[in-house]
Amino acid sequence: MWCTKLWLAAASLSYTLLEAAPVAEPCEHRQSLPEGWTKHQRVEPNAVHDVQIALTMGNLDKAEDCVMDVSDPDSLNYGKHWTAQQVQDFFRPTDETIDAVRQWIEETIARDIDHTLHKGHLRFMATTSELESLLETEYHYHHHDLVRRGVPATDIYHVPEHVRRHLDYITPGTVLPKVNKRSPSNEEPGEASIPPIQERDLLSARDIPCNVTGMSPQCIKKLYGIPDTPPKAVAGYEHAIYSTGNDPWDQLSLDTFFSTQTNIPKGTHPKSYNIAGAPEPEAEYRGYVEETNIDLDVTYPLLYPAEIVLLNEGPKEYQTNNAGYMNLMLDALDASYCTYTAYGETGDYPGLGGEVKNKDCGTINPPKVIASSWDATEDYIPLAYQRRQCNEFMKLTLQGVSFIYAVGDWGIANGGHTCYGPKGDMWGVPWPANCPYVTGVGGTQIKDGADPTDPDSSPEEALDGRNPQTLWQSSGGISAVYDRPSWQSTAVGGYLDNTKIDALVKSGEYGHYSTLGRGVPDISALGDHVYVRGNGHTLGTTGGTSAAVHVVASMISRINLERMYVGKGPVGFLNPTLYKYADKFIRDITDGRPNGNCDQPGFPVAKGWDPVTGLGVLKYKEALEFFLSLP
């Protein structure tokens, strides 16, 4: 309760710099180059760089308490979400931070510094030689076959000890742009990674049995107890799906699916927020099925006629081979984020220093549910960058937003069939679901011979990729980046205490996974043989957590609409309620194989929480009743 009031008392602190000579210490350190990148010649001494330094936020040590104050179902302040202005005032960088970093720069290289409107970062122009002097490092060009020009970057940089705690990240720095999204081994470089479509004859929903070979929208409703009646109508409510400028949808695909699987009228389509120059959706079928079409095929039958919107992040050149990192979306949801993030992707081409024209800052009122099929692993994303982005997720959850993200389809691998580390035996953890303020969604599949129309018979098991045509396998793990939040301490700790995890590789050496951090996923849903519109005019099945996440997100939006219809607010951050009252509305998944990959056995499925299916799957009717009982 104190946290709801404390934002009013947030005040700037004065700061006096130490007069002793500063001692530089390592800041960001990249241990190895990402796949496909090579290091080349030094950057010219007189080359000019747009340098941005991200400042640390104030009151971050109070963030979890503040979120719990409005998200713990037993809190007196449950559901009393903050305004954007309250959040901004409470977490802005302190005067101590601003003065410390500014004085260090001015005394070292004597440069004019631009202090942004929202006090998120400091910005200045500097030559390579000045930047190398400031950071005690060397800058080299880095090249990749799929990137047109060399990228200035360094392996490590240093800052004085008294400045280190005041900054999060510097660009240009150690980061190099990711060149592809999660990609199966048979995928051509640069193409979108879309779950393979298993084509079927064009059947109507009434002709499709509910079983392991295929699940129509009606089958999914029966599996989770979702009613056929439409959700409550609430003016202004929007359910959002994250998409990228390289991944449009087309109306023909939607109409084909609607006409065979639903009663949704042809011509129905999402409203598209085209962020920072993202292209308009295409009306004609392009010869293959995009991720966004799959997302919509799963979502519409569960939510129609509720308003579905796309947070369509662009422009196309920003998305390096579909590697959308969501920062332009966060810019559009929160104007302060445009100037808050230190990494150049907040309004800039990721890692390449090119300014994005016509960027959107605070132009979209944040939808109350934001779902995304896009993922990577935490070993790939620079620590300061992902932590800063996680801070923004935290700020938006305080305002009542539910971020519901897929965890990926490669088990413990970091994409394809490789683990990371010098020996290839370190287990990947999904990003951005590793952020404690995101709800991570894993995948399930129907057991052989099970009846999914009888959910009490426990027809689901962990998604394990048993079908060689799918390659799907629910990702999950325990973060080495984020501490374990209080709300899942008992669940994750209990799993580690009571479960034998075989971490041996073929060579007999031990693999590596964290035991201290945040565990993902949180919950799961069906991610196998889900019917969508296939190639051409056929019906097809697909899967992966890309499908599962939209089943969960749709159920949460339905619950929001029911609550708001009776005058209550959205549920906001889900995780504290999920873990505290899982026995009330979650069906545990205890069957299935471990999520092993890259010659590693992976995490076993277990009773209670596990890093494959999380807590289990939502029982919609019970979940609705419980959330309606909350204030």
User: C-alpha distances in angstroms, 427 versus 84, 243, 266, 424, 603?
Assistant: 37, 27, 45, 9, 10
**Residue 7, exposed/middle/buried by CB under 10 A (0-12, 13-18, 19+)?**
buried
User: C-alpha distances in angstroms, 496 versus 22, 170, 441, 604, 610?
Assistant: 43, 37, 20, 11, 9
Scanning 92-169, the segments in alpha helix (DSSP H) are 95-109, 128-135, 161-164
Q: Examine the residue annotation and report whether 291 is marked as an active-site residue of this protein.
A: yes
528 labelled as ligand-binding? no
Catalytic annotation, pick one of 69, 168, 238, 295: 295
Residue 610 C-beta-side C-alpha neighbours within 13 Å:
31
Backbone angles phi, psi at 343, to 5 degrees: -70, 140
* 162 Cβ neighbours under 8 A, 6+ residues apart: 17, 18, 22, 100
* 435 Cβ neighbours under 8 A, 6+ residues apart: 386, 389, 390, 393, 394, 403, 482, 518
Please report, to the nearest 10 degrees, the dihedral formed by the alpha carbons of residues 597, 543, 242, 327 taken in order: 10
Catalytic annotation, pick one of 291, 307, 345, 379: 291
For tokens 């159920």, name the residue. Answer: 555
Structure token digits, residue 224:
């989770």
589 labelled as ligand-binding? yes
Q: Examine the residue annotation and report whether 546 is marked as an active-site residue of this protein.
A: yes
Catalytic annotation, pick one of 193, 372, 479, 546: 546
- One-letter amino acid identity for 435? C
542 vs 152: CA distance, rounded Å? 40
What sign for the dihedral angle of Cα 106, 112, 117, 121? negative
Q: Let me know: does 80 contact 66? Beta carbons within 8 Å.
A: no
E strand or H helix that includes residue 565: helix 545-565
Q: Let me know: does 294 contact 547? Beta carbons within 8 Å.
A: yes
443 labelled as ligand-binding? no
608 labelled as ligand-binding? yes
Active site positions, annotated: 291, 295, 546
Residues annotated within a binding site for Ca(2+): 588-589, 608, 610
Residues annotated within a binding site: 588-589, 608, 610
